[in-house]
Amino acid sequence: MISVQQQDFNQQVEHERLRCQSSIGAIVTFTGLVRDINDGQAVSDLSLEHYPGMTEKCLVDIVEKAKARWHIIASTVIHRVGQLSVTDQIVFVGIASQHRGDAFAACEFIMDYLKTEAPFWKKETMENGQTKWVDARESDQKTLSKWAE
């Protein structure tokens, strides 16, 4: 399941949705949150813009790439857009597999590619009221090298 949405998500509901078959022996989930500090500056709010249509296609592609590498029985990727506040949930990736190794690896792989390929952009509002588009991190690009085949 892939969803780009404004509304919040419920981890328990998503976890239960992934428990869909008796062959599943492991579920790994990742949740990204709005942090109160970025590059040393206090953050109060975040707005998330995306490219409707391309974003969903890109997330489908990333999950397909993961399915080609690991045995995935069920997967969920949810990414929120719009106005968010500190501590809000931004992104959820959940992977159900027979064994934990595949689930851990696929979950990390999907997050690493999502951060560098999926067309989302964050704009932060600081506590002093100033706004700032978040710059892409070179370290996120470097992280991808570990997945080179």
Q: Which stretch binds another protein (CB under 8 A): 20-28, 65-73, 97-105, 129-137?
A: 129-137
Name residues whose C-beta falls within 8 Å of residue 101's C-beta, 6 or more positions apart in sequence: none
Residue pointed to by tokens 């953050």:
43
Candidate residues 50, 62, 94, 109; the one interacting with another protein per rule CB under 8 A: 50
Site for another protein contains 33 (CB under 8 A): no
CA distance 145 to 28: 22
Q: Which stretch binds another protein (CB under 8 A): 8-16, 17-25, 51-59, 101-109?
A: 51-59
Minimum CB distance to another protein smaller for 17 or for 132 = 132
Site for another protein contains 64 (CB under 8 A): no
Name the token pair of 3: 């969803």
Site for another protein contains 116 (CB under 8 A): yes
Site for another protein contains 49 (CB under 8 A): yes
In whole angstroms, the minimum distance from the beta carbon of 23 to another protein comes to 30
Site for another protein contains 20 (CB under 8 A): no
Q: Residues interacting with another protein, by CB under 8 A? A: 32, 48-51, 53-54, 57, 79, 90-91, 111, 114-123, 133-136
